[in-house]
Structure 1
Amino acid sequence: MARPRKFEEDRAVEAAMRAFWTAGYEATSTQDLCAATGLGRSSIYNTFVSKHDLFEKALRRYMDERNAVLAELMEGDLPIKEKVRTVLWWAAEPDPEDPIGCLVINSMIELAPRDPEIAELLRRDNDRRLQIMRSAIEAGRSRGEIDRAKDPLALAHFVFATVSGLRVAARGGHDRAALEAIARTALDVF
């Protein structure tokens, strides 16, 4: 019995996501995608129309997965400083099974300046993450965990700018000690 097409498509999107995450959009060839997904060139184009379509699906998958994990953490019962610490440490001590860096950050740098469709997708994702973080910071501030004079939106921007910097620094070869030092310094803001 043949596997359902949806299963194959999900598996291919996951594999393509990791290929794009590792090498970037431009550097990932159709042959690389064939090797990563196990699909032939015609199967990729019959299923996904274009490399850009497959990339968009892969980027959406990445964003959806990361945002679900972030939302679960931010809606939990930990104090806000512990929530922020966890987010910073995700960047300072990434899963060793994952490619270095962040597909969102890489895409912002590589594609957003010249691809309005991807730029808009990234903007909406950024807004979503900021809202998740801002809500958690506001809740922490209302519980007295954060100085009332601190602006929750500014703090949310700061956390994500720091995470972005950590991801870029990791991709640039900084070691774990340097990344942890940056994360600890950022955590002092809270």
Structure 2
Amino acid sequence: MGRPKQFDPEVAVDQAMGVFWRKGYAATTPQDLVDEIGIGKGSLYHAFGSKHALFERALERYRDTQAYALVELLGRPGPVLPRLRAALEALVEMDLDDPVRKGCFAVNTATELAGVDARSTELVRAMFARTEGALRAALEAGQRAGEIDASRDARAMASMLLATVIGMRVMAKTADGPDQLNRVVNAALSVL
């Protein structure tokens, strides 16, 4: 009879996500992971197969939890422009409240691994597409409600807002306060 697992793999994925998010894929060593999770390297490889497989699981966990928070905010009922403002301001607050200023795990992964790691690129592309789709759906709802000019291209506006979100997540890593990011929010919403 084998020994029972002494760690919860789902908790381990959450812990690994934190390490990868802070340090990036390349800078994270297997030793960093075992130190954070509190298991031996053999157990790490037995449970997850490789550092890369664990990274993919961590990125999927981010997708399933953190990345959909914006989508959820955008899908709430009510007037669209206040929802868009609330979603963008929530990102500013979340990023600036993080003492490590690690930014967005998906954006960080895109800048580090896009074009180099096909699976990571695919996961990030899907996250961005889902966010852009939620932005487009909100904009189209605003057009139907008369809040946003119906002659404007909702797809183009959604792409612009996605680029704004990505840029804000990067800017927040070095921002000395909310003023600059709030100006971005105000400017982005003013063109709708």
CA deviations over 1:58-89 (Å, ceiling 9, x no partner): 11111111343233222211211112112211
Question: Is the Cα–Cα contact under 8 Å of residues 136 and 157 in structure 2 kept in the other structure?
Answer: yes
- Match among 155, 158, 170 for residue 156 of structure 1: 158
- Structure 2 distance, partners of 1:76, 1:91, is 16
Q: How many residues align?
A: 187
Aligned match of 1:77: 77
**Percent identity between the aligned chains?**
39
Structure 2 counterpart of 1:32, one-letter code: D
Structure 2 unaligned regions, length at least 5 = none
CA shift in 2, pair 1:29/1:38, >3 Å: same
Q: Name the counterpart of 2:56.
A: 56
Structure 1 unaligned blocks of 5 or more: none
| RMSD (CA atoms) | 2.1
Distance 1:36 1:98, change over 3 A: farther
Measure, in 1, the Cα distance between the counterparts of 2:171 and 2:155. 24
Answer yes or no: is the 8 Å Cα contact 2:136–2:158 preserved in 1. Answer: yes
Deviation at 1:98, TM superposition (A): 7.2
Query: What is the rounded CA distance, in whole Å, between the counterparts of 2:16 and 2:117 in structure 1?
Result: 19
Aligned 8 A contact 1:105 1:164 in 2: yes
User: What SS does the aligned partner of 1:168 have?
Assistant: helix
Question: Corresponding residue for 2:132?
Answer: 130
Q: TM-score, normalised by structure 1?
A: 0.89
Q: Deviations over 1:82-118 (max 9, x none)?
A: 1211221133221535752100000001001211121
Give CA deviations for 1:107-161 in whole Å, capped at 9, x if unaligned: 0010012111211222222222211221121111101111112211111111111
Distance (whole Å) between structure 1 residues aligned to residue 111 and residue 171 of structure 2: 14
Relative to structure 1, the CA distance from residue 60 to residue 98 in structure 2 (aligned partners, 3 Å threshold; closer, same or farther) is farther
1:148-176 residue CA offsets vs partner (Å, 9 max, x unmatched): 12211111111111111111112234432
**1:177 match:** 179
Q: Map 1:25-174 to 2 at 5 A.
A: 25-94=25-94, 96-97=97-98, 99-100=100-101, 101-174=103-176
Does the aligned pair in 1 maintain the 2:143–2:150 contact within 8 Å? Answer: yes
Q: Does the CA-based 8 Å contact 1:21-1:99 persist in structure 2? A: no
TM-score of the aligned structures, taking structure 2 as reference length = 0.88
Change (3 A) 1:98 1:137: farther
Of 166-175 and 136-145, deviating more is 166-175
